Structure 1
Amino acid sequence: MISGEFNRRGELFFEIGLIASDGDVITVKALLDTGFTGWLAVDNQDAESLGWDIDSNERRDMQTARGVARFNLYDGSVLLDGQEFTVEVLGGDELENILLGVRWLQTKRLLVDFAAGVLTLG
């Protein structure tokens, strides 16, 4: 189980590891976005710097808060709660945060208690 934190706006952040193609683990804070139905979304520059493989034959159009956007698809490795996962990653331009999507809630239990300041995923 990993602990998260709330920011001033009440957003839910968790520390995860992004595993580069050379095996290096880059620790980042990722925003849990309940409106995002995928696993993970990162900026294209981040995915490329990690050396993640892109599926050059497939791109995906997704509805975002700013309208419809086109995303690249990458195979990415993530370290979450001590486990390594290889997941489909959406790569977009100008993403402000790394996003964890609700697909994680199929395998991990989310506990949110704003009043007590408790946020866990595991």
Structure 2
Amino acid sequence: MISGEFNSKGELIFEIGLIAADGDPIIVKALLDTGFTGWLAIDNQDADSLGWIFTNQQEEMETARGDAWFNLYAGTVLLDGEELIIAVLGGEQLPNILLGVRWLEKKRLVADFMAGMLTLG
């Protein structure tokens, strides 16, 4: 189980590891976006700098800004002590790394604003 935090906007923030192609983990803060139905979304530049493999596929997704095309990468993440290879959407000018609701198929989310408790595991 990993603990998270609520930021000043009340968003759900978790620290996760992104595993570069050379095996080095990079710890980042990711925002859990319940409107995003995938596993992980990241800026294309970040996915490329990690050395993640572009699958030569694209996927169209509906976003708050309208429909957009995303590159599909195979990426490795470290979450709750597990290294997992997942499908990652890469987009242009993504200000945050996003965790999607697919994680809730594998992990239990507890968000108690009043107690200041946020966990995923």
Match of 1:27 in 2: 27
Match of 2:40 in 1: 40
Instruction: State the aligned residue count.
Output: 121
Fraction of identical pairs, as percent:
71
Match of 1:64 in 2: 63
SS at match of 2:47: helix
Distance 1:88 1:110 in 2: 21
**TM alignment of 1:79-90, pairs within 5 A:** 79-90=78-89
- Aligned-residue RMSD, C-alpha: 0.4
**TM alignment of 1:1-122, pairs within 5 A:** 1-56=1-56, 58-122=57-121
Distance 1:100 1:32 in 2: 5
Kindly provide the amino acid, as one letter, of the partner of residue 51 in structure 1: G
Distance 2:101 2:40 in 1: 9
Instruction: Extract unaligned runs of 5+ from structure 2.
Output: none
Kindly provide the amino acid, as one letter, of the partner of residue 23 in structure 2: G
- Runs of 4 or more, structure 1, over 2 Å off, are none
1:21-80 CA distance string (max 9 Å, x none): 000000000000000000000000000000000011x11110000111100000000000
Please, what TM-score do these two structures have when normalized by structure 2? 0.99
Instruction: Extract unaligned runs of 5+ from structure 1.
Output: none
